Amino acid sequence: MKAPEYFPHRGDRSYAVSHYDLTLSYDVDTNHLRGKAALTAEAVVDLRQLRLDLSGLRVTKVTVDGGAARYTARADHLVVVPRRPIKAAEGFRVVVSYGGQPKPVPDGDDECGWEELADGVLVAGQTNGAPSWFPCNDRPDDKATYRIELTAPNAYHVVANGMCTSRWRSASTTRWVYEQHEPMATYLATVQIGRYVAHRVEGSSVPMTAVLPQRLLRQYDSAFGDQPAMLDFYARTFGPYPFAGYTVVITEDELDIPLEAQGMSTFGSNFLTDDWDNVRLVAHELSHQWFGNAVTASSWRDIWLHEGFACYCEWLWSEESGGRSADGRARDHWARLAAKPQDLLLGDPGPDLMFDDRVYKRGALLLHSLRLTIGDDTFFTLLRTWVERHRYGSVSSEMFESLAVRVAGVPLSDLFDGWLRQRALPALPPASG
């Protein structure tokens, strides 16, 4: 029996999008966004109508393959009826013109999506924030390429996913164009707007940029100076960096947590210190480029494949950089988890607990337990094979377990059952020699 979706009201499995072309203009003072979104898609089944996720913005026109289409706008989605049915496996193009004042959308006890800063904007898409600023098929397994064009006042620097391929300045506005050629889940799409300068980071094996207020440049290296070394370590350990470049945006505002996006991370100005609690988050967000962005869970129930891996990468960086060993950090966190309620299933935590810290730590402990069971050489071969085999694709816990068994050549069902499918916290194996 197939388990229910965490967010059944999001996404439409009757079609798949291969490309988004977003043409946007934004007025910072009035928080007004005007947009045209062109979606290149293919029908999975015969379609008489399709649903797009869009929240809080007014639609003014919809076309399908160039012809006007009927549409009905709901609170959080748009139902589109083409002039003629679309056959299964047939390609089609939907263009939606829309506008309004974007705002975050509810996400459990929190909100996500387009958010105004004191002087600018950030977009935090995870989990269901993408519809706050563009119409989309909001499913983590529906990955597409993107072109994002955004025109904003000249005083503001605009960052989006991918590489900046064009920038044109007029008397009062600048048009920025970014292209993301590697497939990307909707929740990883982002735009960041602020009074920023772009600082090219030296010593990185791939193009690395810091985008931040001018006054914060002197503080940048305290927390972020090791990023080139982190990236090189992860590339040696997991395989080549999967995108054309990496950008870190640091906002003038303070933020509660960093924000993940494809090819990018966003931090508040409060993270510019060199204590471990901040440095580990720098390592965590960078590692998501492999685990979460290049290799993406097809279902939110498998979020440990993102967060457990990224948490374990913190411990690996600690070990690599001369700090505490991964084993030492694992045993500390095992003791802390053992003192907490044992009511979480890592393999299916539910939408209310999917970002519970126990998911992060228990996922990392699963990986450490696996490493101790199969040995370092086999474990790191497994991780490199996992990334290489599924780069730019969508995955599941079952796929990781199956690959682990094939690479290790030994039964591992008891290990995965204990960590993924049982609530009680398993014991850690003894530390390796």
Q: Which helix (H) or strand (E) holds 100?
A: strand 91-100
Rounded Cα distance between 165 and 299, Å, is 32
Cβ neighbours around 272 below 10 Å, total = 18
Residue 127: asked if its preceding bond is cis (omega within 30°), the reply is yes
Q: Which residues contact 85 (CB under 8 A, 6 or more apart)?
A: 46, 47, 48
Architecture per CATH, domain 196-289, reads as Orthogonal Bundle (1.10)
Beta carbons within 8 Å of 49's beta carbon, 6+ residues apart: 79, 80, 81, 82
What pLDDT, in 10s, does the model give residues 102-127?
Answer: 999 987 778 999 999 999 999 999 99
Q: Is the pLDDT of residue 21 over 90?
A: yes
pLDDT digits (tens, 9 = 90+) for 386-405: 999 999 999 999 999 999 99
Chain position carrying tokens 């290049």: 294
pLDDT, residue 106, reads: 87
User: Do the beta carbons of residue 346 and residue 406 sit within 8 Å?
Assistant: no
N residues, the chain: 433
Q: Number of C-alpha atoms within 13 angstroms, CB side, residue 329?
A: 22
Is the pLDDT at 321 greater than 80? The verdict is yes
Work out the average pLDDT over 370-396.
98
Q: pTM to 2 decimals?
A: 0.97
Q: Is the pLDDT of residue 432 over 90?
A: no
CA torsion, ordered 344, 349, 355, 357, to nearest 10 deg: 20
Q: Minimal CA–CA distance to 177: which of 21, 392, 18? A: 21
DSSP one-letter string for 204-269: -SS-EEEEE-GGGGGGHHHHHTTHHHHHHHHHHHH-S-SSS-EEEEEESS--SS-EEETTEEEEEG
Thinking of the domain 295-420, which architecture would CATH place it in? Answer: Orthogonal Bundle (1.10)
Q: Do domains 12-112+120-188 and 196-289 have the same CATH topology?
A: no
Q: Looking at per-residue confidence, does 74 or 206 come out higher?
A: 206
Mean of pLDDT over the chain: 96
* Axis-axis angle for helices 397-408, 357-374 (nearest 10): 20
Please give the Cα distance from 238 to 226 (Å, whole number): 18
Is 200 exposed, middle or buried, given 0-12, 13-18 or 19+ CB atoms closer than 10 A?
Answer: exposed
Please give the torsion angle defined by the CA atoms of residues 396, 400, 403 and 409, in that order, rounded to the nearest 10 degrees: -140
Contact 54, 131 (CB under 8 A): yes
| Tokens (6 digits) for 324 | 């505490």
- For domain 12-112+120-188, give its CATH number from 3.40.605.10, 1.10.3720.10, 3.90.650.10, 2.60.40.1730: 2.60.40.1730
Q: Which residues does residue 358 pair with via DSSP β-bridges, in sequence order?
A: none
pLDDT tens-place string over residues 224-269: 999 999 999 999 999 999 999 999 999 999 999 999 999 999 999 9
Contacts 24+ apart (CB under 8 A), 328-336: 330/364, 330/365, 330/368, 330/428, 331/428, 333/361, 333/364, 333/365, 334/365, 334/425, 334/428, 336/361
In contact, 113 and 76? CB cutoff 8 Å: no
Strands of the sheet with 264-268, listed across from one edge:
197-200, 208-212, 246-251, 264-268, 259-261
pLDDT tens-digit map of 59-70: 999 999 999 999
**Burial of 433 by CB count in 10 Å (0-12 exposed, 13-18 middle, 19+ buried)?**
exposed
Return the domain boundaries, the chain.
12-112+120-188, 196-289, 295-420
- List the structure tokens of 244: 């054309």
For residues 187 and 189, what is the distance between their CA atoms, to the nearest angstrom? 6
Q: How confident is the model at residue 433 (pLDDT cuts 50, 70, 90)?
A: low
**For the segment 141-164, what is each residue's pLDDT rounded down to a tens digit?**
999 999 999 999 999 999 999 999
Confidence category of residue 2, pLDDT binned at 50, 70, 90:
low
Which one, of 276, 275, 274, 278, lies nearest residue 255 by Cα? 278
pLDDT tier, 1 (very low <50, low <70, confident <90, very high otherwise): very low
